[in-house]
Chain A
Amino acid sequence: MTRATPADLVGARLPRIEDPRLVTGRGTFVDDLQLPGMLHLDVLRSPHAHARIRDIDAREARALPGVLAVYTGRDLAQFLKAVPSAGGMEGFNAPQHHVLAVDRVRFVGEGVAAVLARDRYIARDARELISVTYDALPAVTDPEIALTLEAPVLHDDIGSNRAFELRIGNDTEAAIAAADRVVRGRFVNQRVIPNTMETRGAVALFEPWEDRLTVWLSTQAPHLMRREFARFLDYPEHRLRVIAPDVGGAFGAKNNPYAEELLAAALAVRHQIPVKWIEERSEHMLVTSHARAQTVELSAGVRADGTLLALHYRLVADMGAYYHAITHIGPMMTATLMTGAYRIPHAATDIVSVFTNTTPTDPYRGFGRAEAAYFIERTMDLIAHELGLEVLELRRRNLIRPDEFPCATPTGHVHESGNFQLCLDRALARLDYEGARREQAKLRAAGRYLGIGFATHAWRAGFPSVPGGKGYITSGWEKTTVSVDPAGKVRAVIGTSPHGQGIVTTTAQIVAQQLGVLPRDVRVVHSDTDAVAQGNGTMGSRSLVVGGSATLLAAQQVRAKAIRLAAHLLQLDPQRVTLESACFSDVGDPARCITLAEVAAHAFAGPRDLPEGMEPCLEATALFEPANFATCFGTHVCVAEVDPETGMVAIRRYLAIDDVGRAVNPTIVEGQIHGGLAQGIGQALMEGAGYDVTGQPLAASFLEYATPRASDLPHFEVELTETPSTVNPLGARGIGEAGTIGAPPAVVNAVLDALAPLGVRHLDMPLTPQRVWRAIRDARA
């Protein structure tokens, strides 16, 4: 009899089940798939930011041996619908977005023609032979300029570049007018590119005699894609199968039904030949969603002692040339979380969203919450400086206290529970705050500039369903089915779609602990819409919080039934049966026991061998719908030194103290934090997707766009606290996005703290050596 199960799998640092195949190169990513007769799709893209398409001559391309077809936007408009966008929401002025541009291109990279050929080299040759004549139009890439009357208008049917305006919050005017002091500022959260290491891709297979369409897609939401593809193609959803194989990162950029992917599926159906489309990196930088791109002008009304009375933002959000699925949601999320971890009785954001001749924006790790944290944490430092208060003193005065939860904010969010001071105190202790300030003073005396920056961030994870059910994301529930087979092995079918988060491992831990089996005896099924009937994908730090909760509930139900059946077999009262170390036994006589395998073997018998009223089989399906978002929070501290001669920033220490509610696998949790920190530091110091005056992107490859490398990053000091959340049975809080939320403000605050003696008051990200050096020089002048 084996007693091999660890006493407490939930909370264990189990090595990942996902790893052996990935570390040996045996993963299957979309480009690894090869189907017999498969054709390659290659898209010709506009080199202009804004232009009319006068003519497309594809004769030479079509004549090239190995080319099956060349399509233009005009060709496609005959038989394809427009690309789904803004989740079909009313009132959001969604401009029509064609799969390939028909008359006009509106950003550099927009597709204008597509080649279907025998292999990728021939497809590329053919693409080069297509001749497009454009009439260039003036372009606008700055949202503030796009709002002016002189700016070129992107969408004639809308008439202006104003996408939508919305106010979220309560009245702030009176409170600001009555304040002792009004602090004003302007902060830019710059456009960045998620840059997943695996670019996007799709393989589509249409089997007419099966009446089935299969799409392998590098996506984070296979079920949402199934629905979108079905609608776009007018293909019955129950006969459409979407499979997300191994996915090389998504971060929110693979949560959209993109034109090329829809096109690959449409052409597979039309030609009845499998079609593959794989994105190149330079394409990715141009056409896969960009992110952030929000600017805030703020007014904060405060008392002389630093108590926050009111906060108002005018938020300009750059949508790009078109909406992707939830582009419009970004600024709304920012507005809703604008008060961060603080008690601010009056707060409102006036959102102005704008179309520009740039790549459309969409979620990126920390969607809306990273922007909100940046704006509020920078504002806190700004207020502190203007009032002559210490930055921590100001935060402590205004942080929501542990006894104030649940805490409603003026912008409609309710923080369900938390202990913000816990993480702050822990961070200061671990940092040795007094020591760090002494070190800073000592270095200043020696002409060196060290700074300490804080972010006491609060955000939210695991969205609940939206009443009314409209838009791209309507429901927030998750469903897990746990079933035990006659051999006592377990299958867990989950609706989330992991792509690096280790959810297979954490799911196995949760189920194995409930059922007393080994994690390797739990097979987790995900990301195939044939195998998983319904699901809502992986995004917004929901997979553990919502999906894990559904998993726990289903496993608990199976456990309860197993105990009743074990009791029946042991001829005991179920109250006397416990499950320890893979055995169901009598509380009073542990030697009398029966394994899950033995119980399972009986579960498939007929009704007369089962307890009264018990049905055969040993499985359960549970749904979990969160009543509210889980409040996530933490304190990050960055200690950075700036070299005034070069403008270079060196992070000497980075501490991240985050509360996860309940850590199922602390190692996986820490890994999520590390990854987010890298991206957050990248945004703070080196990333940015800008455009020149003609609308040409300044970053179209890794030569210009600096995602951090190992030598760009410090060693992170990560600590977890566990204050159980009240909104899910696991007590878990989301963690995936913590790093991108906490790092940018912590880093920028640190650099400005370092440069305060030199008179530098303000810097916008990225804090490249050039920008920092220039700011120092300008302050000295």
Chain B
Amino acid sequence: MSTLDLRRHVRRDPMPGFDLGDVSAADLEAARTNWRERMVSEHASARVFGALVGGMMRAGLPADETYRVAEMVRQELDHARLCARVLASLGGEPVAPMPELVELPDHADTTPLEGVLRNVISIGCCSETVAVALVATEREEAGPPAVRRVLDQILRDEIKHSRFGWRIASRLAPSLSAKERRSLSSYLVDAFAHQVRFHAPFLDMPCAEDAGRAIGAPHGRSSWLVFVSTMNDIVVPGLERCGLAAAEAWREVRSWGRAS
């Protein structure tokens, strides 16, 4: 297991201190934990975009799009550095163990086109669209200008990442064969279930007060509501507009709860 250590970067480019207001000790610790985990997650997600490049080339996607994805790798690494600076400003040390880095699936069971769309939809249309909603929500409640500026920068990039997903899906889905479309629609069950499992820990996260949320402490229940609303009202209808059976896939995933 490796360690992500961004102390040197933070020392070279520290964030000015800011007023914490009347944040409780518990919310301050929750904010530190949140920014530390974001630092690690953003850094780790750079490999997700990097791994997209090969699949895009195999599927013959335009070179401009591959170039944009390469920039997304750098953007995620930059996000990690931004999170590290906020963490340090809150009195936390920007050092943390890296998680297990799961490989992107190569989807060898299908065509290169469907394979890359599976990954693009999961990453861009699902994960990054949820991220836009979450970051934009947090930005509304952010207090210190330095924190708002960090969220502004991250949000600008998340918007690009989400739009990349929707642009590719809407342009390429119409050229799928009937078999590829059925297969991709079927994959949405896997993608949606994965999203639910990935975001379910929100349900166990603490619910910070105003002053805590202003510096990035989580409100788990509110974040879960943002996630479910994004899936229900944005992701599923958007993928339906691309000609995929997203509503059916989402209904199936939601039905597991009624069956259990």
Do A and B pair up? The answer is no
**A interface residues, Cβ below 8 angstroms from B:** none
